[in-house]
Structure 1
């Protein structure tokens, strides 16, 4: 690990004791003196988990444990407190004593250490809103508190940023899609970045572009950008990575975790020096968002300017290299999975002025076992020393979770980054996306197979030379498909093709897309097949330019000339316009479930093509070469432990209903959809299921049409007359039925964009009109 010795040396064990606050022993703790955190005060949140009523005692562990990202859990009886001095014998003051039924979710101390911002839900009928409090008591012994946000939405995880503003995350809806609603984990709303001014509150509220899943735990970076944790769900990708953006939401960049990490998710980081962070490595779910402490180094160590702070800080040199970020687990005995821990788990680290780590820690398994035994983990405030693997007690109330501890010390305010997206700008102004040269990539370890590349494949840089277009795919989730929590037998979200931009001779392409919208990209060859499926959502603010050098260029290398200078061929031709209304965007729903959606009248139904051109020979009848061939899929339902078997046709392209088990649910789809996608989908979301019988090939591999057996059998011809798979034979050969080029293209696109059964068009979605954040506009 780079430069870890200085941090480790600074993390000196300080011993302490507590009168009335017993220390827990896990990694081991030592609390023999009253030495503390070395600061005059700390603030932290006390969250309740146990409620006693006339009906009995209720322990709410699942409220935090079951949520993939915790922001809706509410248990009354919490408080925001200040401990002064910051040691076990310090005096505890309740800043929010006037709100006895409140719960809290996030806090931060201002740059001058005179104020705290926090998220509070006053009672069960309230939402989480932002408040500020002065950290000096008034003559009446109370702390002056002001509410800063309100409305029918939840605002959590606030932090102070430069220029008198506060950044946070919110589940407010503000696009024609409505409130973003996670599909994979079946949540109903997700959170996105927002800011307000300290003085103006909601009157100066700004909203950043939307991700498809949760954005949480923002943190302040040395350069004034907002760092944050982003749950990335895009097909088979399902984790939490670190990103950063300007305070106005522009120039979103990856920070760490995109190219490997020691856990599924990186959570609640804090920067300890430029591009070096302390955070939590965890699975996030089933662990109450606790895990191991990890040091993350995302500096560009190959650039001497970046490693010399005397030079770097004067020049403002960009030193981030997320592609080569490294990770050091400081609590090596703490598991990063969701199994029970023998040494407890940690939450929400923050760094003290002397370099030591202030954390919340709980002993015990800190996972589902806590829930099953109705024994909540006991999070207290500690200082952790990685050299000795010991925790020094600062404060622990056994009746609450003591979380989010922050030192009350003045700190340097970073530079203000100018707002290039005025709140008065037309919110419909397009975003420009594109590449200087799509063939430039650092991902040459990626192997592209199928078609002309054969079974052995070629490196990505070679394959990208065949790119003739870039497909731009909009993502949406269950907010846009009524009654849908999975889009079919794949992990992919809803999808619509906004357009396919031409790649010019110099490798450049350029397009304009709607702002705020999550999209991902696929460079495609002359046969219309994806060369690579980008597994990262990108989005932009109104009027923003999100062009890059190449198809993931080397972050630590020397880039191309500045955009706008030596204009690319794409710039000379101007940007292609992919700005059609929602109803006109190209979707490929498979069929219509008339029972659920009797009024849906979608276009581009895949089943219509199969009915017209394929079922004559593939319906299980006399003309079907695979008639009677099936395999059986046996799955155990986790909730009941009972086993059920499902018979799947080898290849049947008709609409006859077939019931199947996938991703913990039983559902019925047309035989065509099941028989094509299920062989490859069995590798995901199947748990302990076992297939037996006549196993078919992988007819349709999600996001990979070129290796799908069906597409290889159909073959496809490019405009120049060449064939994708060498042979000039195109199925169905001499059977008298011929698929058109457009029909073959539809089947290829359907597979490449995610193999979804459901879409907006076949579920009756109607976009919100007018102002999506107006009263009553909530799905």
Structure 2
């Protein structure tokens, strides 16, 4: 039995893999008799912070850690170095004098600065570590003028702590966090710098600004890389919400946490990419945010992964209480699973991917507020030496009984079950846990009101990381695409839904791809649309009123990158811009979206080709977004050496090629178009009739074409189509549409939309708008920032009628759920009678539902069906209907630029 010290004045005894606390009136530390190199040779680094860190109107507030607000400032942290892991070894506060030059001249020498510190990461050789530090608040300065988070490096040889980026100007250009060393010495980190994204905004003709996340709360973090001296900063990821916590795996790949927030919060999931930003893909967690622990579901996020020496991924699950420090250590099998209950198709694994980290002790670390004999855990990191040892910040189980703090080990089982037991205030100390022999060693004590939040040992790793070189232009990266700052998306078949053929009822891919069996008009999927998310500026750049988004801000603002035909077998290979967040939609022949919106941003590096097997249904939990985890494609491709079955002899595919791949081989990778253009390339005229061409073009419009459409006459990576309601949709309602007799030139009818859909006729007399729909360009009485027509199309209204030349809301007698008349009653519930003694019925308006929906064109069938009925047929052209459909499909925003009203 070996005593190990738990907190000042108490000691812990290990007995049968459990611990008890007993009184020990001594403060002497007990050392191991054996010469353990971790305890003797290697320094221990840890961060200690105040539990109450933020000064609010009512004094100090609890420090808060929100994964969706990575740059939050919690002053009150200090950085310590211990010579070794003995509890009584010398400890140095290496952060104490970091910003001494900012102190007043009369400040005491031992003044501790109110700074924040986080994100420890050690190099593989154990000779240096990285840490994120933020300087003290500047009194009375605006938020934008406050100090930024910077990355600092400590070098063991010189025992110096210095900022990686030396230049003050460069260091303050963004918040830098969560740094780690790459095998070649470079540093990968999360940052709000958005260097390349800001440059692309200029190339797109927009102001340069730092974008906010999709909730419009904080500046967006993306993954960046820089040289060891802070030079050569390069942006690697391009999510519109946060990409954080890059972890360099033993394989050399980068595992990181991505907040998927497109069109609404989808949670924080684990993604993986190469150190040059290529092969960026979802790895784990999309459907695993509700996981059952201890017979109850917990909402979890996949934040700050670590890798155990055996290769497993360690995650410390957090409580949903942002001020709670309690963590639950779990391991995740991301090699064989894409979700907790979903293995990859090739793995054959079963059970669950997420499991509690196994200890030889009977530990039960969790984030419940209930008493646990195991105590509470707030940090755990494995030693990098295969020794099954961990550094952990541990609050041993203590309770308050009769105003005295007692260790849980001193209580009986019956006492521990007492629901009235009160947990003592947290006292987190740093421990070295050896799970191989069941021992624990106190490393650093603490005091109430403080907590040790992170720690590491400066010890060489027994699993050095593999170096992955950047992909080579002309080899792994296409040289021509790279030169054009473009990439390619290569989809085997849009009819492939999670390995199931959605075209099976039409004969399957083999029948659809045979021109003699299936005409183009019979193909359900005709075009692919690519959309770009517009980065949201901060209020200092442009204070965007919510009315700019229109009926719903769920999709924020969107620009169309362009269109391309889908080949008969459902395949697509298309050139797209690199380094921007993209989403895709499958369209029918008229340009309306089929199915739901894409819910993940795609971004590619210049010269890269993204291989996709197919699509994914919204509710399916089968693997998606991760190429090697999915089922085999439904589209086997060509046999090779001969034309596709009954197709043209002009395109001879190689073995396994899809129609899109074969077409790109012969005709080059397709470029995106502003138009829905189709030309039959596959029909063999000797065997069947060539399909007619189609071309829905902005050039056919008599109203202004969407902004940027002219760029596609000579496509480049910065071509964008922007549709704004006032500029491009309202003119469709205002356009004069006269039916004229060709012989007499007499006006037979005025089909202008606003001639019927207005509250006044051509003689300026009152009229009820046709279909109870008013399409005029006057400010709405409900919302002056919107035209009346927009509100009428997307918001429920009330039916109107003409009474003596005045348009009023139509009132009808109200009925209850059983169809009985509802009468007016007074405050006592008694019937109110009219002059003749009869009860007075309650009158109510008649609801007129909105004819359009921001959910998309398919959800706006009332409008499109009306435009095809006998009354309205051919009043709007196919090109005009396509414009309306594509605008609704991207969200029906009032504006799709943050700067419309300033232009």
2:484–2:716 CA contact under 8 A, matched in 1 = no
2:729 maps to which of 606, 611, 622 = 606
Question: Could you tell me which residue of structure 2 aligns to residue 155 of structure 1?
Answer: 176
Instruction: Report the counterpart of residue 468 of structure 2 in structure 1.
Output: 417
Q: 2:216 aligns with which of 186, 198, 203?
A: 186
Paired residue for 1:228? 256
The corresponding residue for 2:308 is 272
Structure 2 CA distance for aligned equivalents of residues 170 and 376 of structure 1: 35
Contact map agreement 2:391 2:432 (CA 8 A) in 1 = yes
| Displacement of 1:278 | 2.0
Aligned to 2:455: 405
Q: 2:629 aligns with which of 545, 555, 559?
A: 555
1:146-545 superposed matches below 5 A: 147-148=164-165, 150-174=171-195, 175-177=199-201, 178-182=208-212, 184-198=214-228, 201-262=229-290, 263=299, 265-272=301-308, 276-281=312-317, 286=322, 292-300=328-336, 326-328=353-355, 334=366, 349-352=380-383, 353-355=386-388, 358=391, 381=430, 395-411=445-461, 412-420=463-471, 429-442=485-498, 466-479=524-537, 482-484=542-544, 486=546, 487-488=549-550, 489-532=552-595, 533-545=597-609
Equivalent residue for 1:747, pick from 870, 880, 884: 884
Structure 1, unaligned runs of 5 or more: 1-12, 308-316, 365-374, 449-463, 592-601, 628-650, 661-665, 681-691, 716-729, 767-779
Give me the whole-angstrom Cα distance separating, in 2, the residues matched to 1:624 and 1:283.
55
The 3-state SS of whatever aligns with 2:179 is strand
Distance in 1 of aligned mates of 2:471 and 2:97: 40
Indicate whether 1:702 and 2:760 are aligned: no
Task: Answer with 113-122 or 669-678: which moved more.
Answer: 669-678
CA distance in 1, matches of 2:395, 2:845: 49
Shift of 1:514: 2.1
Q: CA offset at residue 29 of structure 1? A: 9.3
Counterpart-to-counterpart distance in 2, 1:531 and 1:322: 34
Alignment check: 8 A CA contact 1:277 1:297 kept: yes
Shift of 1:589: 1.8
2:6 equivalent in structure 1:
17
The verdict on how the C-alpha distance between 1:659 and 1:286 changes in structure 2, with shifts beyond 3 A counting, is farther
User: In the alignment, is the contact (CA less than 8 A) between 1:243 and 1:252 conserved in 2?
Assistant: yes
Counterpart CA distance in 2 for 1:401 and 1:184 is 33
Instruction: Give 2:721's aligned residue.
Output: 586
The answer on whether the counterparts of 1:300 and 1:556 sit within 8 Å (CA) in structure 2 is no
State the 1:484 CA deviation.
Answer: 1.9
User: Match of 1:530, SS?
Assistant: coil
CA-CA distance at 1:103 after TM superposition: 2.3
Q: CA deviation at 1:135?
A: 3.3
**Who is 2:619 aligned against?**
none
Give me the whole-angstrom Cα distance separating, in 2, the residues matched to 1:607 and 1:323.
Answer: 56
Distance 2:185 2:153 in 1: 13
- 8 Å contact kept, 1:81–1:93: yes
Q: What is the distance in 1 between the residues matched to 2:451 and 2:483?
A: 41
Offset of residue 170 of structure 1? 0.9
| Aligned residues of 1:43 and 1:83 also touching (Cα < 8 A) | yes
Q: How far does the alpha carbon of each residue in 1:532-568 deviate from its partner, in whole angstroms, 9 at most, with x for none?
A: 3211001012222223233356724446789997542
Query: Are the equivalent residues in 2 in contact too, given 1:275–1:319 (CA < 8 A)?
Result: no
State the distance in 2 between where 1:432 and 1:323 align. Answer: 35
Mapped partners of 1:679, 1:342: distance in 2: 52
TM-score (norm 2): 0.60
1:713 aligned partner: 865
The alignment partner of 2:610 has SS state of coil
CA–CA distance in structure 1, aligned partners of residues 502 and 378 of structure 2: 35
Partner of 1:688: none
User: In the superposition, relative to structure 1, how do residues 119 and 761 fare at CA in structure 2: closer, same or farther (>3 Å)?
Assistant: closer
**Which segment drifts farther, 280-289 or 566-575?**
280-289
Shift of 1:490: 3.2
* Local SS of the residue matching 2:489: strand
Greater mean alpha carbon deviation, residues 32-41 or residues 164-173: 32-41
Q: Distance in 2 between matches of 1:561 and 1:447?
A: 16
The separation in 2 between residues aligned to 1:359 and 1:35, in whole angstroms, is 19
> How far apart, in 1, do the equivalents of 2:31 and 2:393 lie?
15
Q: Is the 8 A contact 2:117 2:133 kept in 1?
A: yes
Moved more, 651-660 or 528-537: 651-660
TM-superposed deviation, 1:79 = 2.4
Residues 1:69 and 2:69 are matched in the alignment? yes
CA contact (8 A) 1:16 1:36 kept: no
**Aligned-pair CA distance for 1:473:** 0.4
Could you tell me how far 1:521 is from its partner in structure 2? 0.8
Q: For the structure 1 residues 213 and 35, does the alpha-carbon distance in structure 2 shift closer, same or farther, using more than 3 Å as the test? A: farther
Give the SS at the match of 1:267: coil
TM-superposition CA deviations, 1:462-508 (whole Å, max 9, x none): xx972222111001232299322653323112211111122112332
Q: What's the CA shift for 1:275?
A: 7.1
Alignment-derived partner of residue 48 in structure 2: 46
Q: Distance in 1 between matches of 2:568 and 2:81?
A: 63
Are the counterparts in 1 of residues 484 and 717 from structure 2 also a CA contact under 8 Å?
Answer: no
SS in 1 for 2:558: strand
**Bigger mean CA offset, 237-246 vs 407-416:** 407-416
Q: In 1, are the aligned partners of 2:578 and 2:717 still within 8 Å (CA)?
A: no
Give distance in 2, aligned partners of 1:765 and 1:378. Answer: 55
Match of 1:546 among 610, 620, 623: 610
Tell me the SS of whatever aligns to 1:538.
coil
Equivalent of 1:575 in 658, 663, 669: 669
**For the pair shown, which has the larger CA radius of gyration, 1 or 2?**
2
Q: Closer, same or farther in 2 for the Cα pair 1:203/1:396, shift >3 Å?
A: same
Are 1:255 and 1:320, in contact at CA under 8 Å, matched by a contact in 2? no
Distance 1:324 1:475 in 2: 38
Q: Partners of 1:654 and 1:127 in 2: how far apart?
A: 49
Aligned twin of 2:768: 623
Native 8 Å contact 2:129 2:154 kept in 1: yes
In structure 1, distance between residues paired with 2:350 and 2:559: 29
Is contact 2:247-2:255 (8 Å) kept?
yes
Greater relative contact order structure (CA < 8 Å, 6+ sep): 1
Question: Structure 2 unaligned runs (5+)?
Answer: 13-17, 99-111, 138-145, 202-207, 291-298, 358-362, 398-423, 505-521, 616-623, 639-652, 673-711, 736-751, 761-766, 798-843
1-side partners of 2:20 and 2:593: how far apart? Answer: 58
Maintained 8 Å contact 2:792/2:850 = no
Name the CA shift for 1:467/1:584 in 2 (closer, same or farther; >3 Å).
same
**Equivalent residue number for residue 106 of structure 2:** none
- Partner of 2:786 in structure 1? 669
**Cα shift readout 1:51-87 (whole Å, capped 9, x = no counterpart):** 799x99842547x457722214152x53222345446
d(CA) in 1 for partners of 2:10, 2:896: 55
- TM-score normalised by the chain length of structure 1: 0.68
Return the match for 1:734 from 845, 868, 871: 871
In the aligned structure 1, how far is the partner of 2:194 from the partner of 2:94?
31
Deviations 1:403-428 (A, max 9, x none): 232343321212111112789x9786
Q: Is the 1:61–1:376 contact (alpha carbons within 8 Å) kept by the matching residues of 2? A: no
Against the structure 1 CA distance between its residues 163 and 673, is the aligned structure 2 distance closer, same or farther, given a 3 Å change threshold?
same
Q: Helix, strand or coil: the match of 1:478?
A: coil
The whole-number CA distance in structure 1 between the counterparts of 2:255 and 2:348 is: 15
Question: Aligned in 2, Cα 1:499/1:17: closer, same or farther, shift over 3 Å?
Answer: same
